[in-house]
Structure 1
Amino acid sequence: MPKGGIYGVDLSETGNLYDVQDRNGHGTHVAGTIAGNGAILGVAPDVGIRAYRVFGAEGGAYNVWIIKALIAAANDGVNVINMSLGGIYIKGQVWWTDPDTGERIKLGNDVADYVAYMRAAKYAEKKGALIVAAAGNDGLNATNRKEVIDYANEKYSPYGYEFKGAGFYTPASLPNVVTVSATGPNDELAMYSNYGAGFVDVAAPGGNLELYYKYLNEGRFDEYINQRLYTKEFNLSSVPIVQYQYNDKGQIIGYTYVRPGYSWYVGTSMATPKASAVAALLFAKHKDASPSQVKVMLQNSAEKIGKPGKDIYFGYGLVNAYRALTMY
């Protein structure tokens, strides 16, 4: 994480490459799902794990940070790169209207970033690493480019942005990654999960929000919390307890790690590490396997929960560690 964090205002971020403390919680939740071996037991508790921290306390990261971390992981010889992150990249034209002057400014597009991701992903594959990426949490058909661009315009127009062309979820849309959609407690597609023909490779439990919104919309959210109904649809994993120190400008100037903690999260970010962990188990069993071979094993051993073949919602099916290790 560079000095100052993503917005340049987190003074606890000094640019120290060896500062791996997760200030946000998202990365630790993902890591616990993969390799937790204590109060939280991950899917692959005995695999090694490396942290490449690109998210600060605020969340979010610049593309160059993510791509540099991806390349670093490949150079370090990792077998699986979990990418519980992503966004919409525009192939076309981006405009921004200055709210003060009304001037409409031509900004370009995201083609260069997309190409950089493609090159980094190919490099990682050549180095022996399989990338596993989240499908995204916008509930969209990610292969319908107009639907994606319309959603981007709706979401970002209040900030003055306008998009023309086609929208691609990245890194999920890269051809050589494993893209993971999320399922709920009954093996249904989660209401927030992106999907799409040829987009999703496999599915994994990410939790759902049906009860959450039901009780919220009915004005009974206190019941939802008091009855711990989130335990029926969210994912429990590790999240560190961290306290922040602020200056009089509201900037973070320091932090203190307090203790291990645990929290309930939901999303394709929580589904992705389950698929990554099964891939790691396959690499552990098949030392000389290539990323493409492990991807095929992961797909072929998935439990069919959709239509035959490659389903629009679940790809080849729900990842299954037992089936993967007994079939191969």
Structure 2
Amino acid sequence: MKKWILLLVLLLSCQTTSSAARTLTAPPIPKERVAIVVLEKAQSKQEIQQALQPYKDLQLRRVFQEALYGFSVEGNPESIAKLAEEYEDVINVSPVTNYQIQAEEGVKIIGGEEVRGLFDNKNQRLTGKGVTVAVIDTGVDYTHPDLKGNYNGGHDLVDNDEDPMETLTLGSATVHGTHVAGIIAANGKIKGVAPEAKIRAYRALGPGGGGTTEQVIAAIEEAMKDNVDIMNLSLGNNVNGPDLPISLALNRAVEKGIVAVAAAGNSGPSIWSVGSPGTASKSISVGASTPAMEIPYILIEGMSKKTRIEPLAGSPSWALDRSLLLADGGMGTKGDVKNVAGKIVLIERGKYTFTEKAKNAQDAGAKAVIIYNNLSGGFSGNLELPLEIPVASVTKEEGEKLKKKVGKSIRTEIAMEKDQLADFSSRGPVTDTWEVKPDIVAPGVSVNSTIPGGYLSLQGTSMAAPHVAGACALILQAHPDWTPEQIKAALMNTARPLVKESSKSDHYRTYEQGAGRIRVDAAIKTESLVTPSSIKFGKFAGETDEHKAFLQVENISKKKQHYTFDIPKQTDGLTWHFPLSFTLDPGESREVKVELSVDPSLLKGKIHDGYLNLRAGKTEIKIPYLYVLEEPNYPRVMGFDFKAADKPGNYRYEVYLPGGADEFGIALFHPDDYRFIDYLDSGENIKKGLITKELEAEHLPPSGVYLAKVFAKKAGKEDFIETMIVIEEREGP
């Protein structure tokens, strides 16, 4: 099969929408043929089938009764649109969306070792015993020696059977679900957060780690039927919206008494980058923090400023004992790295995997590898095989600076760093509801866990979320009568807000880290609970902008507790009103009101956030809050970039839609006569935020030069970017 590579040249003169000399007219975008229909109330399969009789070309696929009320259908897009208009009790009709996986030191960081010395009311050590956690993922290798004792069955929603084994087929094999399960409950060579919790596996993501809305909702539905206690979803997409079907399903699960934990996503550090289901209001959305890490810096001959490099997960230590010369390794092919023996090799990202590039350099005698991004910003990654030389990443900008220093001498320095927000961790807030998300963060960098056939270090919010799911299992064993809302409050009320390393005193924003990094030992021993555990004051509403929030403060200790709110630091344009100090008896609770008045003429900045501090005796409870003065007013589409992906033959693009889009597309035209050829990609009802997508080689057009129109339509307005795309035949490594 022929393989192709896409090269992108941006036309800087065509970055606006108003001055094009000719018009590129694209036909209507292709419509999705499968949709999720969400209903106000439950209907039986027979009732739905009867209601669908007038729509002869629509086929009923699944009926949902637990995760949400509704069903999925397949058929003519026009009939689906007609169904949305005519079917009674419809809340919304959503096209099926694709979801992807969001790729022992962490147990110590979150207080897991301290918990080993605590006991439940049956005088049993806190290990998660008696608690069942659903892992909705790529499946689980239940034969792994560290997991087989805790495996408690499951379902396969991809192949529709009762065997949720990971995909083991060469070329499309998965490891993700097994890795997640090990972080939660491994009990062998390595120990998970809750090593005696039961794991039920729900395979909703198939070969390669991809799945659909329908499969994930079906998995949530099965987990609810199985009466699990906790569900972990280390998966997601880049759609920042609170009302997607999966987010609604997670909210329903929480209402039914199940703790729902979801990864926030790996699209940081941009604001608005949190994705569904990490946007679900009632779930615990988890971002990623760093464990105690040796962070390498490089110093280049002739430059005074140190450059931080990001070790790839699985890389050997960067503690090099001597200065080495920097060599240009091109794209990392064997031909590119012929003359790198004894040197540090600089390689551009793209075309081939990180492991392939580094292995070629290692075989050529290199001492270390630095891979620089081919898109703006930085990246994190994983090595698929153990290597003997260290491998790290830098941003595109840093890589281009380093390229000018080829032939110069480089030495490395190591600094210890702990409890920082991972650069890749997705940020909030949530669009439309203006909620603080993620809710909390947990270790998600260089996390060692189980995979089929062994162990591997991976990173991502996918690894952070199961730390929280395991923590919830410990809390639930200690407090079996607590509700999901109380468990979430315990984690958030006792979390430690992270401070930027560069400042020592400047916290990350609340919509970046939520309440902070979890401390499960403190959560188990907390004597007070405050719900909700974060406050959304909403968006500016008018000249007299007054906002109220009601908090439930509960004394769960065996002694009286005195409560007092600290007055926040003075901010021009904001006036706070807090309740007077009060005392609660053991077991007593009280609703209190917090008021915020806003003068927009004095308040600076479009988003204001921070922490309210409630003193409960000698303990401080920090409550994150957020207020939006003005939603950013950007063009409908911006920041488009397209580069070769890491897997040979695949390519990825990024585009930012600040206001979302009713229709989005990448239309290809002949550059000479502007005739339309085909869509490279398209979609409807796209939520605001960053879109990142990888395209398979077989879905690309033939080699040649194309003019691409990247457009977004919203509320009758269309903005677009024009770029030239050159498709060339790809050579082997």
Q: TM-score range by the shorter chain?
A: 0.5 to 0.7
From 157, 160, 164, give the equivalent of 1:20. Answer: 164
- How far apart in 1 are the matches of 2:437 and 2:158? 39
Pair member with larger Rg? 2
Cα pair 1:28 1:238 within 8 Å, conserved:
yes
Q: Could you tell me how far apart the structure 1 residues matched to 2:237 and 2:206 are?
A: 17
Does structure 2 conserve the Cα–Cα contact (< 8 Å) formed by 1:74 and 1:128? no
Contact in 1 for aligned 2:238/2:265 (Cα 8 Å):
no
2:262 is the alignment partner of 1:133: yes
Which residue in 2 is equivalent to 1:47? 197
Structure 1 match to 2:224: 74
> 1:77, 1:128 within 8 Å by CA — same for their partners in 2?
no
What is the letter of the counterpart of residue 169 of structure 1? G
Counterpart for residue 190 of structure 1:
422
Flag the structure with more relative contact order, 1 or 2, with Cα contacts below 8 A and sequence separation at least 6. Answer: 1
Task: For residue 20 of structure 1, report the CA deviation from its aligned partner.
Answer: 1.6
Equivalent residue, structure 1, for 2:514: 315
Q: Is the Cα contact below 8 Å between 1:135 and 1:268 reproduced in 2?
A: yes
| Amino acid aligned to 1:320 | R
- 1:281 alignment counterpart: 474
Q: Deviations over 1:89-125 (max 9, x none)?
A: 377xxxxxxxxxxxxxxxxxxx9xx442243123211
Aligned runs of 1:1-328 on 2, under 5 Å? 15-23=159-167, 24-89=174-239, 114-143=243-272, 148=273, 169-185=275-291, 186-197=418-429, 198-207=436-445, 234-241=446-453, 261-306=454-499, 311-327=510-526
Q: Deviations over 1:251-290 (max 9, x none)?
A: xxxxxxxxxx111101010011001111111111211211
CA distance in 2, matches of 1:78, 1:293: 17
Partners in 2 of 1:70 and 1:120 — Cα distance? 7
Cα offsets for 1:216-235 (capped at 9, x unmatched): xxxxxxxxxxxxxxxxxx11
How many angstroms does 1:308 deviate by? 7.2
| Contact 2:158–2:206 (CA under 8 A) maintained in structure 1 | no
Q: Say if 1:29 and 1:237, in contact at 8 Å, map to a contact too.
A: yes
Count, aligned residues:
228
User: What is the TM-score with the length of structure 2 in the denominator?
Assistant: 0.30
Question: Residue 299 of structure 1 contacts residue 317 of structure 1 at CA under 8 Å; is this kept in 2?
Answer: yes
Whether the aligned pair in 1 keeps the contact of 2:251 and 2:280 (CA below 8 Å) is no
1: CA distance between counterparts of 2:240 and 2:203?
A: 25
Amino acid at match of 2:495: A
Higher strand share: 2
Q: Is the 8 A contact 1:206 1:270 kept in 2?
A: yes
Question: Do 2:496 and 2:518's aligned partners in 1 also have CA atoms closer than 8 Å?
Answer: yes
Distance change in 2, residues 1:126/1:75 (3 Å): farther
Q: How many Å separate the matches in 1 of 2:473 and 2:190?
A: 18
Quick one: distance in 2 between partners of 1:200 and 1:90? Answer: 12
**Which consecutive unaligned segments of at least 5 residues does structure 1 have?**
1-5, 7-12, 92-110, 149-167, 208-233, 242-260
**Partner of 2:208: helix, strand, or coil?**
coil
Cα pair 1:184 1:190 within 8 Å, conserved: yes
Does the aligned pair in 2 maintain the 1:200–1:312 contact within 8 Å? yes
Q: 1:252 maps to what in 2?
A: none
Q: Using the alignment, how far apart are the partners of 2:161 and 2:260 within structure 1? A: 23
Cα displacement (A) at 1:126: 2.2
Change over 3 Å in CA distance of 1:141–1:21 after alignment to 2: same
Return the letter of the residue paired with 1:174. A
How far apart are residue 70 of structure 1 and its match? 1.0
Deviations 1:55-99 (A, max 9, x none): 2231111110001111211221112111100002377xxxxxxxx
Cα RMSD over matched residues? 2.4
Distance in 2 of aligned mates of 1:70 and 1:90: 20
Contact 2:238 2:267 survives alignment (8 Å): no
TM-score by length of 1: 0.64
